[in-house]
Structure 1
Amino acid sequence: MESRMRDKESLVRRMAWPESASRAVGTPIQPSVVYASPDPDTLDAQYEGRVQGYTYAREGHPNADVLAFKIDSLERADGGIVLGSGMAAVAAVLMGLTRAGDHVLGGDQLYGRSLRLMREDLPRLGVATSLADPTDAARFIAAIRPETRLILLEVVSNPTLRVADMAAIMAEARARGVLVVVDNTFTTPRGYQPFAHGADIVLHSVTKILAGHSDATLGYVAAADPAHRKAIYDFAVTVGFTPSPFDCWLAERGLYSFELRYDRAEENARALADHIAGLPGVRRVLYPTRPDHPDHNRAVALLGTRGGHMVSFEIGGGRAAANRLTQAAPNIAFAPTLGDIGTTLSHPASSSHRALGAEGRAALGISEGFFRVSVGVEDINLLTHEFETAIRAATA
């Protein structure tokens, strides 16, 4: 009877992980929501930072910490935080570090949802916002106010691939005590390391090329100042920007091949940009290190030869031509994303920047014939053939 009772009890009792003289090569997935401590004193010690330990997954879990450590090593950062999405990272920074009466200045070609957060959400909470062109340092600096708390920048803008004057803006921000936040998603630490150039905070949509396989939704943020890190972390935990352990595990697996994928995609992007530029019917091609890029000199100064894996181009013919192009490229995923291992094609007017309206898009140079390409690791000859076929079909 006693033996049978022990057997029944064991069904609902958690067991310790089996001991082993060997170790797993792959990182284990830890989906536990809660963690048991031996006593209240130990729990106090954990919350007070005197011992390391996990309490509740919303406050942190092992898979998130393993991934954060990996990205920290790429960004030369310490104490990075992994969150549920790239926009969770943006929101945690802006909400965690500002209060009513502050002002936030952003680049005028930020990611579409970052623009919405700036234009609609922060102002209703009493935080003033404005946008300026970061490729024109004088104009951008003129938009800084006495109450400006922080500046949000992308080194290379989405989707027009303009290059911000990071050196001049950072120098002025440092002189005025304004925090500089850099969204490094496009450039990645392979192309640009913001902390080495004076940034205060760096964030990523890990969903994109860091994870690299369109199967994990995550964000990352790191701060140079521990006090800023704590403010960001506290806000993220309070509102529940919790990352999935499974997504963290997938992203860590993708990160192992990040440098190989990035280098191959960048090589392909450079060749694809040159090829598309020579096709009839193409009005313009944007790639940061091409000599005809409007910010070419600045791009070379900031990025060297690292032009990145993104290419944008424009054709005439309006929406009808845009439809013909995507329909003539069935093997290239037409999807509002970037950084997949395979090439994807997006149309900002109908996706990321649709909320701006035609007039707002026109001001940024985004027409109905404007496309953004996230170049993958396919054979370059295959890519040039597919894009040439699609562009010819669209512009015939």
Structure 2
Amino acid sequence: MTQDFSTRAIHAGQDFDPTTGAVIPPIYQSSTFVQDGIGGFRGGYEYARGGNPTRDSLQTQLASLEGGSHALSFATGLAAEDALLRAILRPGDHVLMGNDVYGGTHRLVNRMFTPWGVELETTEFSDLERVRAAIRPSTKVLWVETPSNPLMKISDIAALAEIGHAAGAVVVVDNTFASPYLQNPLALGADVVVHSTTKYLGGHSDVLGGALVTSDAEIAEKAGFVQFAAGAISAPMEAWLTVRSIKTLAVRMERHSDNAEVIAARLAQHRAIERVYYPGLPEHPGHELAAKQMRRFGGMISLAIAGGPEAARRFAESTSVFQLAESLGGVESLISYPHEMTHASVRGTELAVPEHVVRLSVGIEGVDDLLGDLLEALDRL
């Protein structure tokens, strides 16, 4: 019988310590492991770059939650993306990604891979016909981000997986905004799921990390070799902190979603707001699709400020409970100005974020406090 998500989040990969009976497995803060004779590895462990029990426990947990058979834990989300792309791509290959993805993902491919002969193209992934038209014989990767960062576009994972597979491409879904609790791309046909575990999986703004999850043994082997050879692993403490945080992922995502739904509905009526980007609103493009492929709508909201760029900047700098900072997915609420913060690297491109848009990462504080903070700041505009 398949266990509930919360049960797996707490128990997958988390066997008690057989020596002491400790409920929480220890942190294996060791760089190397004693061998039983030359080449006689204990439990397969030799050197921490190649494997560590704490990292393995996180990888088991992640694979279980995403419904995959293989997971790899990295030092950062971009390290995970880099390893995956190096495992798949060769000069002359074509990468097709959405036109509203995280700026760092676009920067990675555009600045690191295209000089080595990889071709990058972006298009509107919520329009399946435009995706089909952009496919080439050399297309090797369809890079999907849904909900997208920061305009919360919703892409049809199952349909895109069909399109990608018909072209012989690997379909990758960045599931950072949704988390495994709200959305499982592998079950919808994706080949690989990517996470910045720094965000909702870590959930407390105190740890960096990234992950790949797949059921494709060949991709897992190739990406695993890149990780081993280049060394972008998560350290034991970071892995342990992420494991600890994931145990409360379900309850946190419920509260994030509760708060965001209230805030989005209220701000949609405010005179200072031109538009609220939140898939939980019935008027949001892709609302019905999001309701179909997500459990709930999550804690990320973007706002187009009616007063233009200067008003947006003043708003972003004038809240108090919402703190001005990059990143997202923590228990505390954050506000950012993507045009000059998270997406500064894509200014002047098709991915440029409108200058009057701010992004909210809605935390798990009291919703009345959060809403009051935002309304006070908006009323001053």
Q: TM-score, normalised by structure 1?
A: 0.88
Q: Report the secondary structure of 1:248's partner residue.
A: helix
Cα distance change of structure 1 residues 35 and 365 upon mapping to structure 2, 3 Å threshold: closer
* Deviations, residues 327-359 of structure 1 (Å, cap 9, x unaligned): 3312211111110011111110111111222x4
Paired residue for 2:363?
376
1:390 counterpart letter in structure 2: A
Q: Report the secondary structure of 1:80's partner residue.
A: strand
* Deviations, residues 217-249 of structure 1 (Å, cap 9, x unaligned): 011102221111010011111111021111111
2:38 counterpart letter in structure 1: P
Residue 26 of structure 1 deviates from its aligned partner by: 2.3
Paired residue for 1:311?
301
Paired residue for 1:222?
213
Contact residue 328 and residue 389 of structure 1 kept, 8 A: no
Alignment of 1:122-133 (within 5 A): 122-133=113-124
Cα distance change of structure 1 residues 364 and 53 upon mapping to structure 2, 3 Å threshold: closer
Would you tell me which structure has more helix in proportion to its own residues?
Answer: 1
- Quick check: 1:184 aligned with 2:175? yes
Contact residue 136 and residue 165 of structure 1 kept, 8 A: no
Paired residue for 2:255?
264
- Quick check: 1:385 aligned with 2:337? no
Residue 301 of structure 1 deviates from its aligned partner by: 2.8
Distance 1:333 1:210 in 2: 20
Residue 270 of structure 1 deviates from its aligned partner by: 0.6
- Quick check: 1:33 aligned with 2:31? yes
Paired residue for 1:195?
186
Structure 1: which 5+ residue stretches go unaligned? 1-18, 44-50
* Deviations, residues 68-125 of structure 1 (Å, cap 9, x unaligned): 1111111111221101011111111111111122221111111111001222211112
Contact residue 83 and residue 220 of structure 1 kept, 8 A: yes
Paired residue for 2:85?
94
Cα distance change of structure 1 residues 297 and 34 upon mapping to structure 2, 3 Å threshold: same
Count of aligned pairs = 365
Paired residue for 1:139?
130
Superposed structure 1 runs of 4+ greater than 6 Å apart: none
Cα distance change of structure 1 residues 41 and 368 upon mapping to structure 2, 3 Å threshold: closer
Paired residue for 1:366?
353
Structure 2: which 5+ residue stretches go unaligned? 1-16
* Deviations, residues 108-144 of structure 1 (Å, cap 9, x unaligned): 1111110012222111122222111101110011111
Counterpart selection for 1:356 from 342, 346, 357: 346
Paired residue for 1:293?
284
* Deviations, residues 277-317 of structure 1 (Å, cap 9, x unaligned): 1112110001112111122232223226x111111111133
The Cα RMSD (Å) is 1.8
Query: Which moves more between the two structures, 377-386 or 22-31?
Result: 22-31
2:46 counterpart letter in structure 1: T
Residue 365 of structure 1 deviates from its aligned partner by: 7.3
Counterpart selection for 1:76 from 67, 84, 103: 67
Distance 2:168 2:188 in 1: 16
Alignment of 1:161-172 (within 5 A): 161-172=152-163
| Aligned-pair identity (%) | 33
Distance 2:87 2:360 in 1: 33
Q: Report the secondary structure of 1:39's partner residue.
A: coil
Residue 320 of structure 1 deviates from its aligned partner by: 3.1
Counterpart selection for 1:121 from 101, 108, 112: 112
Residue 319 of structure 1 deviates from its aligned partner by: 4.1
Distance 1:121 1:272 in 2: 39
Contact residue 101 and residue 351 of structure 2 kept, 8 A: no
Alignment of 1:9-88 (within 5 A): 22-43=20-41, 52-88=43-79
Paired residue for 1:104?
95
Residue 22 of structure 1 deviates from its aligned partner by: 4.1
Query: Which moves more between the two structures, 367-376 or 322-331?
Result: 322-331
Q: Report the secondary structure of 2:49's partner residue.
A: helix
Rg larger in 1 or in 2? 1
* Deviations, residues 149-192 of structure 1 (Å, cap 9, x unaligned): 12111121000000013232211222222110111111111121
Counterpart selection for 1:149 from 132, 140, 148: 140
Q: Report the secondary structure of 2:40's partner residue.
A: helix
Cα distance change of structure 1 residues 82 and 351 upon mapping to structure 2, 3 Å threshold: same
Contact residue 109 and residue 157 of structure 1 kept, 8 A: yes
Distance 1:323 1:21 in 2: 56
- Quick check: 1:252 aligned with 2:252? no
Cα distance change of structure 1 residues 322 and 88 upon mapping to structure 2, 3 Å threshold: same
Q: TM-score, normalised by structure 2?
A: 0.91
2:109 counterpart letter in structure 1: M
Q: Report the secondary structure of 2:70's partner residue.
A: coil
Paired residue for 1:277?
268
Q: Report the secondary structure of 1:222's partner residue.
A: strand
Paired residue for 2:323?
333
